[in-house]
């Protein structure tokens, strides 16, 4: 009787241990899958495309020019466009930009947000 009780306790303990292991490993893999999914959906590449296109447009623009970036873009939903410290930052589908892409211009560059677009203007 005592022996049977000991065996039951041991089996119960082993089962509990295994369940805890499975849950923790499952959590780790869930985190890993979310992180990988973020890379696979290519938001980073699309953000890169937008930032570099805008930077090249600013580089070649002269005063009086302005160009529009639609929020519903081919490269995804553009949520924010900023120019600061000589760099362009574009936020696409929730992916913030920390590095941006540098542009060069002798002129003043500004961005204003309208209903469904961002307007980048180049002034003297």
Partner 1 sequence: MNNRGEVIGEGIIMIYRLSLVSLIAVVVWGISSVSYAHYIDVRDAEARVLARSVVECVSPDGVLDLDIIPDEGRKNIFSYCGFEDFEVGRFYVELKVESSGKVTRLSQGDSGALWVLEIFKNDEVSEGLRKYEPGYYDWSYPVYVLDEGNKFVAEVKGQVLINNEF
Q: Where does this chain bind partner 1 (CB under 8 A)?
A: 17, 20-21, 24-25, 28-29, 31-32, 35-36, 39-40, 42, 44-45, 48-49, 52, 55-56, 59-60, 85-86, 99, 101-106
In order of 18, 27, 42, 59, the CA distances from 22 in angstroms are: 6, 9, 31, 54
Q: Which is nearer to partner 1, 31 or 68 (CB)?
A: 31
Least separation in angstroms between CB 11 and partner 1: 15
Q: Which helix (H) or strand (E) holds 110?
A: strand 108-113
Q: Which is nearer to partner 1, 1 or 40 (CB)?
A: 40
In order of 47, 67, 77, the CA distances from 43 in angstroms are: 6, 23, 10
Q: Which is nearer to partner 1, 86 or 94 (CB)?
A: 86
């Amino acid at each position: 009787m005592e022996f049977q009780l000991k065996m039951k306790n041991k089996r119960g303990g082993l089962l509990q241990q295994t369940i805890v292991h499975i849950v923790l490993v499952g959590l780790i893999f869930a985190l890993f899958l979310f992180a990988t999914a973020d890379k696979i959906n290519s938001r980073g590449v699309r953000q890169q495309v937008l930032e570099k296109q805008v930077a090249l447009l600013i580089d070649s623009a002269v005063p009086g020019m302005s160009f529009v970036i639609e929020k519903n873009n081919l490269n995804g939903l553009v949520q924010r466009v900023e120019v600061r410290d000589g760099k362009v930052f574009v936020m696409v589908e929730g992916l913030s930009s920390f590095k941006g892409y540098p542009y060069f211009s002798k002129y003043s560059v500004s961005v204003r947000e309208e209903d469904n677009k961002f307007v980048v203007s180049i002034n003297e």
